[in-house]
């Protein structure tokens, strides 16, 4: 959902019926408005906000805003939504109604005079009434879920080539989240392997000498962490334009978390862009790259590009543990013989070759073009990468390789 002044106003108005019945009700409605606008809020946060109101002089609107924001918002990205909603909801006249006295009396059951639950208990009950209980502190942290992003469902299946600018921003964000999650999974796997280390008897005995031969510490034999490098070779010729951007974005997300991701782009020649995408603003970086890389959106010469890679970069980057990911539709205008020779050389040097071809998604695609034909024998995984779902699958494949 895109947040504008109008959508915020609509959300505020939809709660207008509950307005004006005391400050607590107002506070709850405000929390609901925020929830409706996509902000994640738990019941406990609303309770704490209600308690906090008593602690400051709420005649100061700025302090009141800071108070609600600190309690109800927990990521910077939601600040603009909060600010719009705050201004729209706590208009001057209703703002004046905020009265700590209200809060305390509101918390109690209005009809009965009994006060057994205690003040805070009452507050909690009052708030829980109608406010979905979503606060479950013991929920497992391990669970990996696709980020809750509203346009996600429809976009998951949508081909990158069909997207408009607005959609592509949304999808870029989703891709980064997925990439980061996958990468975090991978790094945790590695740690577990280390933890399952075995005891090293020799060192344990040696170390025990300083305690007079008593075994005091167990020395673990740590498995040397063998790191797997991922090398990405991305086709940025005209026919791949709409796909490459997203794929580079995906690798950028991985690069942030994963050791040693190297990124190259190629069309008629090859360029290393690892250092260029090591920046915060990936969109901006891509603009710069497309400006500086020769032949972006031009023709393709896969053979020559691979030759450059094999000759200049492979010796220092490739080991028997390296995973190479090539992203291309295989439409090649160069020498097919050269392409085959270079693919063979590449395959010999590394552990796994993954080829991603966005065209693979269409039902009647057959890898008939000569370039693709020549490369096929040297490919371990031939996958499609045309939408978010396929990227999630790629992530899982990589996860198995790298872990």
Which residue ranges make up the site for another protein (CB under 8 A)?
40, 42, 44-45, 48, 51-52, 55-56, 62-63, 65-67, 69-71, 73-76, 79, 135-137, 139-142, 180, 184, 187-188, 191, 211, 214, 216-217, 256-257, 275, 278-281, 284
Residue 385 CB neighbour total at 10 angstroms: 24
Q: Which lies closer to another protein via its Cβ, residue 48 or residue 389?
A: 48
DSSP lists the bridge partners of residue 60 as none
Query: Distance between CA atoms of 31 and 33, rounded to whole angstroms?
Result: 5
CB of 113 to another protein, least distance (A): 29
Strands (E), 219-349: 220-221, 230-235, 261-266, 270-272, 323-327
Backbone torsion region of residue 334, taken as left when φ is above 0, otherwise alpha when ψ lies between -120 and 50, otherwise beta: beta
Q: Which lies closer to another protein via its Cβ, residue 23 or residue 384?
A: 23
CB of 156 to another protein, least distance (A): 20
Q: Map residue 232 onto helix, strand or coil.
A: strand
- The C-alpha angle 81, 87, 89, rounded to 5 degrees, equals 95
Q: Which lies closer to another protein via its Cβ, residue 7 or residue 256?
A: 256
CB of 244 to another protein, least distance (A): 21
Query: Distance between CA atoms of 190 and 357, rounded to whole angstroms?
Result: 29
Query: Distance between CA atoms of 112 and 270, rounded to whole angstroms?
Result: 78
CB of 289 to another protein, least distance (A): 13
What are φ and ψ of residue 333, in 5° steps? -105, 5
CB of 351 to another protein, least distance (A): 25
Q: Which lies closer to another protein via its Cβ, residue 157 or residue 187?
A: 187
The token duo for 195 is 């933890």
CB of 23 to another protein, least distance (A): 18
Q: Map residue 320 onto helix, strand or coil.
A: coil
Task: Calculate the CA 270 to chain-centre distance.
Answer: 28
**Burial profile 108-123: b = 16 or more Cβ within 10 angstroms, e = fewer:** beeeeeeeeeeeeebb
CB of 17 to another protein, least distance (A): 28
DSSP lists the bridge partners of residue 355 as 326, 382
CB of 225 to another protein, least distance (A): 11
Query: Distance between CA atoms of 265 and 87, rounded to whole angstroms?
Result: 47
Q: Which lies closer to another protein via its Cβ, residue 161 or residue 279?
A: 279
Q: Which lies closer to another protein via its Cβ, residue 290 or residue 373?
A: 290
Give the position of tokens 């991305």. Answer: 234
């Amino acid at each position: 959902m895109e947040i504008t002044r109008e959508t915020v106003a609509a959300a505020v108005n939809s709660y207008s019926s509950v307005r004006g019945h005391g400050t607590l009700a107002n506070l709850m409605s405000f929390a609901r408005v925020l929830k409706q606008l996509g902000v994640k809020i738990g019941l406990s946060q609303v309770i704490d906000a209600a308690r906090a109101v008593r602690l400051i002089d709420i005649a100061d609107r700025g302090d009141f805003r800071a108070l609600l924001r600190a309690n109800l918002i927990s990521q910077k990205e939601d600040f603009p939504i909060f600010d719009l909603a705050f201004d729209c909801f706590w208009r001057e006249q209703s703002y004046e109604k905020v009265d700590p006295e209200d809060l305390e009396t509101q918390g109690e059951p209005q009809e009965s005079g009994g006060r057994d639950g205690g003040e805070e208990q009452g507050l909690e009950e009052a708030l829980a009434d109608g406010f979905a209980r979503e606060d479950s502190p013991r929920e497992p942290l391990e669970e990996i879920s696709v980020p809750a992003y509203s346009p996600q469902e429809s976009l998951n299946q949508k081909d990158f080539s069909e997207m408009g600018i607005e959609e592509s921003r949304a999808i870029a964000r989703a891709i980064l989240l997925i990439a980061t999650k996958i990468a975090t999974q991978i790094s945790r796997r590695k740690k577990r392997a280390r933890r399952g280390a075995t005891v090293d008897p020799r060192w344990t005995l040696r170390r025990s000498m300083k305690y007079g031969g008593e075994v005091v510490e167990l020395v673990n034999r740590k498995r040397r962490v063998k790191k797997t490098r991922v090398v990405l070779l991305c086709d940025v010729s005209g026919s791949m334009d709409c796909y490459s951007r997203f794929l580079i974005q995906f690798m950028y997300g991985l690069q942030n978390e994963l050791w040693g991701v190297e990124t190259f782009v190629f069309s008629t020649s090859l360029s290393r862009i690892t250092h260029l995408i090591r920046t915060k603003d990936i969109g901006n970086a891509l603009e710069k790259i497309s400006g500086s890389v020769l032949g972006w959106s031009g023709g393709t010469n896969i053979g020559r590009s691979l030759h450059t890679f094999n000759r200049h970069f492979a010796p220092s980057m490739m080991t028997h543990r390296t995973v190479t990911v090539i992203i291309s539709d295989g439409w090649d205008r160069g020498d097919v013989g050269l392409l085959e020779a270079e693919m063979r050389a590449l395959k010999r040097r590394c552990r796994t070759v993954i080829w991603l071809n966005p065209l693979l998604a269409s039902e009647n695609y057959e890898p008939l073009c000569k370039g693709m034909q020549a490369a096929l024998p040297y490919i371990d995984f031939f996958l499609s990468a045309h939408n978010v779902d396929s990227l999630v699958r790629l992530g899982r494949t990589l996860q198995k390789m790298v872990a």
